[in-house]
Amino acid sequence: MAFYDNSKDERVLIIAEVDRNIAADISGGTEGYLLHYFADEDTYIRKSAYLSVGKIYKGDRELLPALLHALNQLFTSGDAKVRQTVVNAAGEIGKYDFDTVARYFDTGLFDEHHSVRNAVIGSVKKMGEKNPIPVIEWARKYLHHEDKEIRREICHGIELRGRTHPQDILPLLKELQYDTTRRVRWTLVHVMGQIAYKKGCLETVMADILQWENKALVNDAIEEIIDVHHRYRNFSFYTQDQAKAYIEGLTAG
């Protein structure tokens, strides 16, 4: 039976059991329950497991060495689901202590399996919201990596922080303005649209990108920003017409 085949009350009990069993592993220096849950076919069981690691860390940070020992052991697994869940668990810790778990992302970013690489980007997103300074500095290391997919994934990974604090990621996006790889350029334009529709963000984004040298890219970004205000019209601060008028007022002449 899958996790969400259970009733809400039953799911609460399952999560409590996962928490107890993982806590027993950590306190006992074992990985049996951890491996069992981290390898589970049900993504929601795996999620419960990595969230449990985060709860343990937040509850008693002196347990960090024991948590890292367990994650180190599991990160050598040949099962991609296990490595993926290790990265997600490291992301829960990295929301508060990034430097301690940075190596999981350095390694996971180049994992042979896409699910592990995706977990890195997902973790960068959630860590960037809570602990942006070290996460953004880490991301900067990979902005000009020779592998275009690494550049694209990093650009995508910093997006979530930019939705509320565009000023934090605009310097990194600017470094990519002359990237000629189509997928990287498309992601860059997409992210520029995504960080411009919430309150106060359009003004910040436009003030920055109008100073960029690559005017063709900026024009594409402006088109995307205007379009986003239609696609996200139920969530954007400005209507599409208001956003368009504002931008035209900045660029007229």
* 142: nearest Cα among 131, 134, 150, 133: 150
Using an 8 Å Cβ cutoff, are 114 and 81 in contact? no
Using an 8 Å Cβ cutoff, are 108 and 117 in contact? yes
- Tell me the average pLDDT of the chain: 94
H or E segment at 84?
helix 80-94
If one counts every other C-beta atom within 10 angstroms of the C-beta of residue 76, the result is 9
What the block records as the tokens of 202 is 């359009």
What DSSP assignment string belongs to 113-170? SHHHHHHHHHHHHHHHHHSHHHHHHHHHTTTT-SSHHHHHHHHHHTHHHHHH-HHHHH
What the block records as the tokens of 96 is 């508060």
Q: What is the mean pLDDT of residues 145-160?
A: 95
- State residue 11's pLDDT score: 83
Query: What is the set of domains in the chain, with CATH numbers?
Result: 1-141 (1.25.10.10), 162-253 (no CATH)
pTM of the predicted protein model: 0.89
What the block records as the tokens of 17 is 């059991």
pLDDT digits 0-9 by tens, 225-239: 999 999 999 999 999
Q: What is the mean pLDDT of residues 200-205?
A: 97
pLDDT digits 0-9 by tens, 87-129: 999 999 999 999 999 999 999 999 999 999 999 999 999 999 8
Distances (CA, A) of 5 to 14, 41, 252: 12, 14, 57
- State residue 172's pLDDT score: 97
- State residue 6's pLDDT score: 80
Q: 1 falls in which pLDDT band (50, 70, 90)?
A: low
Coil, strand or helix at 74: helix
